[in-house]
Chain A
Amino acid sequence: MTEMSSLELLLTAVIALVALATVFGVILGYAAVTFKVEGNPLAEQIDALLPQTQCGNCGYPGCKPYAQAIVDGEAINKCPPGGQATIDALANLLDVPAPELDAEHGEEADVKSVAYIREDECIGCTKCIQACPVDAILGAAKLMHTVIADECTGCDLCVEPCPVDCIDMLPVPQTLADWHWQTPLTPAQRFAGNNHSDYPNANLIATDRGLDDTEDHAA
C-alpha cells in the first residue's frame, strides 16, 4: 500500500511537472514569437543619443553605423560633435564609466557651425553634393550649389572635396529665438572670476524685500 502510494506520488509529481513545463513552454514560445523585437533596440537607443551630424569623425560612415559598432564593443568617446554630453549620456545608458573625449577623432566645437558656399566661386562640380550625408546641398552639374542651412549638420565633409575651395564653415550666430538665461554662477566660479555672463545683473528679482520689512514695521 505504501509502495503503491509512493509510486503514485512520484507519478503525480512527474505528471504535474511535465504539465507545468508544457504550459510554460507554450507561453514562452508564444511570447517569443509575438513580442519579438525587430532590429537591435540597443543600437537604436544609442543612435538616438548620438548627435546625427553624420560627420564620420568616429571612423564609421555615419551615426547609425557607429551606434552599431558601440553595441559590438567600440569605445564610446569617439564622437567630437556630441562632446562630453553625449559621452555622459552613452555611459549612463550603457552603465559604464564615462571616459574623456578621444582627441584623436577631433575636438568638441564650442559653437555649432554650418557650411556656406561662396556662390560666385562655385563651378558646379557636384562633388560637395555627393559628399553631403544628409542631402543638405542643392544644385546641379555646372550650376551653382547652395547649402540649406537648416538641414546642414555642420559635419564639414563637403569642405575637402571642393576643387575650388569655396565652402566655408561659418558659426551659427545666436539669435533672440535661441537665446536663453545662463545658470547663475556658483560661489566657486565667482571667486575664480569666471564671469561668463555679459548681460546686466540677472539677479534683480525681489531685491527690495529688505525695504518691505522696514515699511511693514513702520506701518
Chain B
Amino acid sequence: MSKIWDIHGGIHPAENKQQSLTGPLQAVSLPDSLILPLSQHIGVPASPVVSVGDKVLKGQLIAAAKGFVSAPVHAPSSGIISAIEERAVPHVSGMQAPCIVIETDGHDRWIEHSAIADYRKQTAAELVAIIRDAGITGLGGAGFPSAVKLQPQQAIDTLIINATECEPYITADDQLMRQRSADILIGIDILAHILGDPERVLIGIEDNKPEAQEALAKALADKSANRHGPVIDVVEFPTKYPSGGEKQLIQILTGKEVPSGKLPADLGIVCQNIGTTYAIYRAICHGEPLISRITTVTGKACNKPGNFEVLIGTPVAHLLEQAGFDDTLCPQLVMGGPMMGFALPSTAVPVVKATNCLLATTAEETPALPPAQACIRCGHCADVCPANLLPQQLYWHAQSRNYERLEAHHLGDCIECGACSYVCPSNIPLVQYYRAAKGEIRLINEEKQQSDRARIRFERHQARIEQEERDKAAKREARKLAAEAAKAKRETDAKTVSTDTKNASAEKGTSDLDVVQAAMARVAANKASPQDQRKRFERAIETTAARLAKAEQALEALMKDAKTDCTKEQLAQRDQQRASVEQARLRHQEAKNKLAALDADQASEQETEPALKANRSDDPALDRAATAIARAQKNAAEQALMSPQQKLQQLRDTLEKRLSKAQARLAQAKSEDSDQLEAFGNAVAILNEKIKAADLELAAFDQSRPPANKQTEKSEETQ
C-alpha cells in the first residue's frame, strides 16, 4: 500500500452517485443527425476536410487538427454531411459555433481501420501520432489534447491515472472501470510504453468506489502472469472534493505540489484520466478514433438514470429521451457536475468529447440559491480552498475589479472547484466572481497585446512618413544648392570675362569659382614656362609615335591571320584596329603641329591668344573652362545689352509658357477625370498669380524708367 498525502481544504458534498449506478452501461440508439462542433478541445479549432453533400463512413476524418495544440474530429456514424454551419454548442453563453452536421443513414458502416498488433514494437512517436490522429482529448472535462501531454520535454518517472471522479452525481468512470478494467490496463501499459516505462504507475481512486477497485484488482491479478509493463499500483484514498483536480491528485499520491505556473511534467509526472486511457486503448488496439464516450445521465427529472455509451455529436435531447427525462420537472439542465458544471441553454446542443454528465435535477434537488448576503469574514472559504488561496481577499478585489491585487493573490491558481461558494454561509457566489475576473484579466491581456501591436505599427508608420519627408527635404535642398551654384558660376564667369585675364589668378572668389580660377592659373603657368610646354609636346610626340607603331604592328598581324581564316568577328576586329591606327596617327600629327605652333609662337614672342589655343586640346579641364568662359562672355554680353525691362519681359514670357502648359494639363486631367485635378488647378492659379506679380513689377518699372536705367548703367560700370 503506497503512502498517501492530504491536500489542504476540500469539502464533502452529498455524493448522489447511486442513482446512476443501478443498471449496466447502456447503449444509445442512433440519432437522426449528429452535430459535431469543430472546437471540442482546448486550442485551435479543427478545420473541415469534407463539404456539404459528402458521404462519410463511421470513423472517417471530417475535420483536421490545425496546429500543435488541436485535435481532429471524426464522423461518429456513417451518413451524409448535411451542413457545415453555426449551431448552438454546449456553452453557458448559449452562443453558436461552427459545426459539421451529419444526417445518419442508419447503416453505421465503419471506414476501413486497422489495429496495432503489438504496440510494444512501435516507437513512442508513432503511438503518439496515432493518438493525435484519433482526436483524443482529456475526457475528464477540460478537453486538452492528450497527444500534447504525452510528448513532454522532461524525463517522466511517474504516470498517474486519474480515476478519482470526485464530483457528486457523476459515475461514468466508475462504470467504465467496473465493466472494462482489463482494457483500461492495456491502455495504461500503452501510456507507460509511450512515456518510456516510468518507475511508478499509480491509479488514484477514491474509497467510494469499492466495486471499481475490485474490478481493477481482479483484472490486474488476471493479467499479472503475462504482463510486461511496470507494476501498476492502485492507490485508494479517502473521498474528498476536489481530489480529482490534477494538481490535487498529484499532491495526494506523491506529496509533491505542482508550483504555480508550472506543469506536472516539470516534476516528472504525467497525469491522464481513466476515460482517456480507455479511448487510447481503443485507438491503438482497435484503430478506432474517439467517436463515443460514456456519459452519466442522472437527476430526479430522469426516471431511468444511468450511464450511456453515446456517440459524440448526439443531440442532448436524444440522449435525455433514452433516460426518461421529464422536461416539466427540471428547471435547469446542467452539463457536468453540480460543482463545476454549467446550465445548458437548450437541449438541441450535442454531446461533446468533454461531456461526462448531464444533470437533470428537480427544483428540490438543486434549489435556487438564496440571495447573497454580506461577507462576515468567517474564513470558511479559506479553510476549504484546495489551492491554499484567500477567497475573501479575492472576493474583495474581484468586486472592486482590482486586477493587480487579484494577480498578486494568485487568482490564476484558482481551479474554480467551487468549494468556497459551497461553504459560504452568506451564499456569496464566490467562484462566479473569480470566473468573471479571470475572463476580464484574460481580455485585458489580449487588449494589451493588441494595443502593443498597434503602438509598434503606429511608430513604424510615423518613422516611415518622417523618412519620406526627410528624403523629400534633402532632394529639395540638393536642387536648391545646385541652382545656387549654377547661378553663382554664371555670375563669376561674367565677372572673369569683364576683368583682365591676367589678374584672374590673383582674384579671390567664392569656392564655386575655384575651378575656374585653377584653370586660369594653369593657363598663366603654361604661359610663363614655354620650356616645360615644349618638353611636354616632345614627350607627346614620342609616345604617340610609339603607339602608332604598335597599332600598325597589331594591324599587320591581324591582316595575316585574316588571310588564313576570316570570320565576322575578326573582320570587325581588323576594322577596329585600323581605326585605332588612324587615331594614333592623328594624335601624332596633332602633337607635331602643336610643337610647331609653339615654336612659331616663341619665335614671334607673342604670348596671349595662341598659347591658350595650343593648350586647349591639351587639357580637357582647360578646354571646358575655355568654352565656359566663352559662353559666359556671350551671356554677359547679351545680359549687358538687355535692359532690366527686357529681363522682366523674358521672365514673364517664360511664365506664360508655363501657364499655357499647365492649362493644357488641367484640361487633360479634366477630360480624364483624374485624381490630380485639384493639384493641376492649384498649379494654374499659382502661375496666374506669378504672372500678375511680374506684370505689376513691369508696370512699376515702366513708371520709374529713367532712374532705373541709370542705376543699371552704374552697376555695369562698377563691374
Min CB distance, B296 to chain A, in Å? 16
Which segment, of B250-258, B307-315, B446-454, B477-485, faces chain A? B446-454
Which segment, of A4-12, A13-21, A29-37, A206-214, faces chain B? A206-214
Cβ < 8 Å to B, chain A residues 132-152: 132-136, 151
* A207/B368 contact (C-beta < 8 A), A53-B454, A134-B458, A212-B13 known: yes
Other-chain contact of A51, B16, B92, B94, B451 (Cβ < 8 Å) = B451
Measured in the bound complex, the distance between the Cα atoms of B440 and A151 in whole Å is 21
Residues of A within 8 A of B371 (CB): 187, 190
- Chain A 131-173 near chain B by CB (<8 Å), digits 1 or 0: 0111110000000000000010100000000000000000000
Which segment, of B56-64, B122-130, B132-140, B337-345, faces chain A? B337-345
Measured in the bound complex, the distance between the Cα atoms of B455 and A175 in whole Å is 25
Other-chain contact of A204, B14, B334, B452, B453 (Cβ < 8 Å) = B334
Other-chain contact of A52, B366, B431, B446, B454 (Cβ < 8 Å) = B454
B422 at the interface (CB under 8 A from A): yes
B33 at the interface (CB under 8 A from A): no
Residues of A within 8 A of B653 (CB): none
With an 8 Å Cβ cutoff, the count of chain A residues facing the other chain is 46
Min CB distance, A141 to chain B, in Å? 9
A206 touches B338 (CB 8 A): yes
Residues of B within 8 A of A59 (CB): none
B223 at the interface (CB under 8 A from A): no
Interface residues on B, range: 35 or more
> Which of A62, A135, A182, A203: most chain B Cβ within 10 A?
A203
B97 at the interface (CB under 8 A from A): yes
Q: Which chain A residue has the least Cβ–Cβ distance from B417?
A: A205
B93 touches A176 (CB 8 A): yes
B462 touches A62 (CB 8 A): yes
B97 touches A176 (CB 8 A): yes
A181 touches B435 (CB 8 A): yes
B13 touches A180 (CB 8 A): no
- Chain B 450-470 near chain A by CB (<8 Å), digits 1 or 0: 111111011111100000000
B332 at the interface (CB under 8 A from A): yes
Min CB distance, A210 to chain B, in Å? 7
Measured in the bound complex, the distance between the Cα atoms of B94 and A15 in whole Å is 82
B369 touches A135 (CB 8 A): no
B190 at the interface (CB under 8 A from A): no
Residues of A within 8 A of B16 (CB): 208
* A203/B369 contact (C-beta < 8 A), A54-B454, A134-B461 known: yes
Residues of B within 8 A of A176 (CB): 39, 89, 91, 93, 95, 97
A64 at the interface (CB under 8 A from B): yes
Min CB distance, B423 to chain A, in Å? 8
Residues of B within 8 A of A211 (CB): 14, 364-365
A201 at the interface (CB under 8 A from B): yes
- Chain B 239-253 near chain A by CB (<8 Å), digits 1 or 0: 000000000000000
Residues of A within 8 A of B433 (CB): 183-184
B443 touches A178 (CB 8 A): yes
Other-chain contact of B432, A174, A183, A210 (Cβ < 8 Å) = A183
Min CB distance, A48 to chain B, in Å? 8
Measured in the bound complex, the distance between the Cα atoms of B464 and A135 in whole Å is 11
B152 at the interface (CB under 8 A from A): no
Measured in the bound complex, the distance between the Cα atoms of B14 and A215 in whole Å is 8
Residues of A within 8 A of B638 (CB): none
* A199/B439 contact (C-beta < 8 A), A134-B454, A184-B372, A204-B366 known: no
Residues of A within 8 A of B460 (CB): 135
Residues of B within 8 A of A135 (CB): 457, 460-461
B422 touches A62 (CB 8 A): no
> Which of B95, B344, B460: most chain A Cβ within 10 A?
B95
B261 at the interface (CB under 8 A from A): no
Residues of A within 8 A of B97 (CB): 176
B432 touches A208 (CB 8 A): no
Residues of B within 8 A of A50 (CB): 451
Measured in the bound complex, the distance between the Cα atoms of B93 and A134 in whole Å is 33
B461 touches A125 (CB 8 A): no
B361 at the interface (CB under 8 A from A): yes
* A205/B13 contact (C-beta < 8 A), A134-B461, A151-B457, A176-B93 known: no
Measured in the bound complex, the distance between the Cα atoms of B338 and A201 in whole Å is 13
Min CB distance, A120 to chain B, in Å? 20
A180 touches B332 (CB 8 A): no
Residues of A within 8 A of B440 (CB): 180
B332 touches A200 (CB 8 A): yes
Residues of B within 8 A of A90 (CB): none
B367 at the interface (CB under 8 A from A): yes
Q: Which chain A residue has the least Cβ–Cβ distance from B428?
A: A184
Measured in the bound complex, the distance between the Cα atoms of B576 and A78 in whole Å is 80
B366 touches A208 (CB 8 A): yes
B432 touches A184 (CB 8 A): yes
Min CB distance, A140 to chain B, in Å? 14
B369 touches A207 (CB 8 A): yes
B438 at the interface (CB under 8 A from A): yes
B429 at the interface (CB under 8 A from A): yes
* A208/B438 contact (C-beta < 8 A), A52-B451, A64-B458, A153-B454 known: no
B66 at the interface (CB under 8 A from A): no
Residues of B within 8 A of A216 (CB): 14
A28 at the interface (CB under 8 A from B): no
Q: Which chain A residue has the least Cβ–Cβ distance from B168?
A: A208
Min CB distance, B593 to chain A, in Å? 62
B458 touches A54 (CB 8 A): yes
A212 touches B14 (CB 8 A): yes
B442 at the interface (CB under 8 A from A): yes
Measured in the bound complex, the distance between the Cα atoms of B367 and A211 in whole Å is 9
Min CB distance, A164 to chain B, in Å? 12
Other-chain contact of A201, B340, B368, B399, B435 (Cβ < 8 Å) = B368
Measured in the bound complex, the distance between the Cα atoms of B461 and A153 in whole Å is 14
Cβ < 8 Å to B, chain A residues 43-61: 47, 50-54
Q: Which chain B residue has the least Cβ–Cβ distance from A132?
A: B461
Measured in the bound complex, the distance between the Cα atoms of B334 and A73 in whole Å is 55
Min CB distance, B355 to chain A, in Å? 16
Min CB distance, A90 to chain B, in Å? 14
Min CB distance, A183 to chain B, in Å? 4
Min CB distance, A132 to chain B, in Å? 8
- Chain A 51-83 near chain B by CB (<8 Å), digits 1 or 0: 111100000001110000000000000000000
A199 touches B94 (CB 8 A): yes
B716 at the interface (CB under 8 A from A): no
Other-chain contact of A206, B342, B421, B439 (Cβ < 8 Å) = B421
B418 at the interface (CB under 8 A from A): yes
- Chain A 74-101 near chain B by CB (<8 Å), digits 1 or 0: 0000000000000000000000000000
Other-chain contact of A174, B95, B366, B369, B372 (Cβ < 8 Å) = B95
B398 at the interface (CB under 8 A from A): yes
A203 touches B332 (CB 8 A): no
Contacts A63-B455, A206-B422 known; 11 new A-B pairs at CB < 8 A: A51-B447, A53-B454, A180-B440, A183-B437, A184-B432, A202-B432, A204-B342, A205-B339, A205-B418, A208-B365, A210-B367
> What are 13 A-B residue pairs whose CB atoms fall within 8 Å in the complex?
A47-B455, A50-B451, A151-B453, A176-B95, A183-B399, A184-B433, A187-B371, A200-B344, A204-B342, A205-B338, A205-B431, A205-B432, A209-B14
Shortest beta-carbon contacts, A-B, top 6:
A180-B439, A206-B422, A52-B451, A212-B14, A181-B435, A52-B454
